[in-house]
Amino acid sequence: MKHFSYDSHCKQHCEKKTTENEEMSIMVNCFSLANINAIKVAIIGITTNGMSAFIIFKMDHLRNAFGYSCASHAFGNLGVLLIFAFWAAPLLVFENHLTEEINGYKFIIDTAGQLTIVFYYAGIYTNILITINRCFVITWPVLYQKYFNTTMTIRWIAIIWSIAFTQSCIYQFPGCHFFFDSSAYTWTYSASNCGYFLSTYFECSLNSFAVLFIISMNSFIFYKLRSMHKACCSESLYLIAVANFYGFIQLAQTKWAAFMLTTMVWELFHTIDGIILVVFNRDVRGCCRKKRQKIEKTNEKTVGAIRARAAKNVTPLTMVSGGGFMRSVVYPVNNQLRLDAIVDSTAKKIERAKVITLSS
């Protein structure tokens, strides 16, 4: 008869339970870290892109073809990051436990994916418009005012957003959805022939064409101009993102690797794109610098007002001199301020009288 040890059995059970608890704790920590980082990146991107769009509309000299195109590009990035921050991140927290109980949840999650496609491709198509804008400035400056004046640029932007929206309607058809899968921590397509076609052929071909077109046009412009730092940074970033989506993602073996190579890389793409817009835009940097100087001046005025208020309530006191103690009456500082104001006012009146006398 086999001897059964109750103590050894309990020990093995406890060790197994401890191991499971440790693994669960590690998974929770990794999940929390991923969620926090995703929200941080989204907030940084929302700040940079929102600030760029706001400054472009605020500055009168930026209300031109290039300025409006950059604002449209920033709005595309901003829309994607808002969906990441206020839709994908909460889904990571809830992990479908509560969201599936919401009435119309399937429609909401599909619509969120559709809006993501709208903002993403509106930003990409606007990038193409900016590239064509540069090419016209360098190559056909005479035709630039005809095809890229303010009115025509607004029309081009309206056409771009209309195309992006029309294209996104495909993703509302049954079996053709694009949505955020919180269980896999990544954006994905419907497991159907339509979803496979959209991900493998349609979007891959569309993004590849956009990358090749932008790189070809910017190479030509670079050859003509020899100074395209912002364009090179922005288009290189887009090239890396597309290569990652359709190349490096195949190397992902776990859902954490897939999360980093899809969700985080996509989020970083739009965030860094907004940072590039701020770094290489002199007006945006200048506005930020002026805002900081204005805040500093406001703080100085506030401190001065507080000191003046404090001095107003000063009563006669005993002053300590360097050579010892000395009793002297110090009158409130506000009396001196009033005296200075009277002297300045009198001096201005005298100067005004002199001017009137000379003119007469």
Mean pLDDT of the residues in the chain:
73
Cα-Cα-Cα-Cα dihedral of 270, 275, 281, 286, to 10°? Answer: 140
Counting the structural domains of the chain, the total is 2
Tell me, yes or no, whether 259 and 154 share the same domain: yes
pLDDT at 119 over 50: yes
Residue 82 in any domain: the answer is yes
Chain Cα centroid distance, residue 132: 25
- Residue 196 CB contacts under 8 Å (≥ 6 apart), including other chains: 189
Q: Which is it for strands 319-321 and 324-326: parallel, antiparallel or unpaired?
A: antiparallel
pLDDT at 261 over 80: no
158 vs 22: which has the higher pLDDT: 158
pLDDT at 345 over 70: no
How far apart (Å, rounded) are the C-alpha atoms in residues 181 and 250? 18
How far apart (Å, rounded) are the C-alpha atoms in residues 230 and 241? 17
Whole-number Cα distances in Å, 57 to 60, 62, 78, 222, 233: 7, 7, 15, 28, 24
pLDDT band at 333 (very low <50, low <70, confident <90, very high): very low
Give the CATH number of the domain where residue 206 resides: 1.20.1070.10
Report field, pTM of the whole predicted structure over 0.85: no
pLDDT band at 139 (very low <50, low <70, confident <90, very high): confident
Residues 46-77 pLDDT 10s = 998 898 888 888 888 788 888 899 899 999 99
pLDDT at 128 over 90: yes
What is the per-residue pLDDT for 59? 82
What is the per-residue pLDDT for 79? 94
pLDDT, average across residues 105-117: 90
Residues 205-254 pLDDT 10s = 898 898 889 888 877 877 766 545 555 566 666 666 666 666 666 666 67
318 vs 110: which has the higher pLDDT: 110
Whole-number Cα distances in Å, 8 to 3, 15, 16, 17: 11, 10, 12, 14
- Residue 327 CB contacts under 8 Å (≥ 6 apart), including other chains: 318, 319
Other Cβ atoms less than 10 A from the Cβ of 26: the count is 10
What is the per-residue pLDDT for 62? 80
Tell me, yes or no, whether 215 and 351 share the same domain: no
Residue 297 in any domain: the answer is no
Tell me, yes or no, whether 273 and 341 share the same domain: no
The count of C-alpha atoms lying within 13 angstroms of the C-alpha of 169, restricted to the half-sphere facing its C-beta, is 5
pLDDT band at 330 (very low <50, low <70, confident <90, very high): very low
pLDDT at 167 over 70: yes
Tell me, yes or no, whether 284 and 330 share the same domain: no
What is the per-residue pLDDT for 78? 93
Tell me, yes or no, whether 54 and 155 share the same domain: yes
pLDDT at 88 over 70: yes
The residues pairing with 188 across neighbouring beta strands, listed in sequence order, are 179
pLDDT at 11 over 50: no
Residues in the chain: 360
What is the per-residue pLDDT for 26? 60
What is the per-residue pLDDT for 354? 58
Asked whether the beta carbons of 79 and 115 are under 8 A apart, the reply is yes
How far apart (Å, rounded) are the C-alpha atoms in residues 109 and 303? 52
Joined together, the tokens standing for residue 110 give 């599909």
In percent, how much of the chain has pLDDT > 70?
Answer: 56
Tell me, yes or no, whether 76 and 176 share the same domain: yes
Residue 10 in any domain: the answer is no
Tell me, yes or no, whether 179 and 252 share the same domain: yes
What is the per-residue pLDDT for 329? 38
Print the SS3 string covering 16-57: HHHHHHHHHHHHHHHHHHHHHHHHHHHHHHHHHHHHHHHHHH
What is the per-residue pLDDT for 315? 44
Range of the domain at 174: 22-289
Tell me, yes or no, whether 285 and 330 share the same domain: no
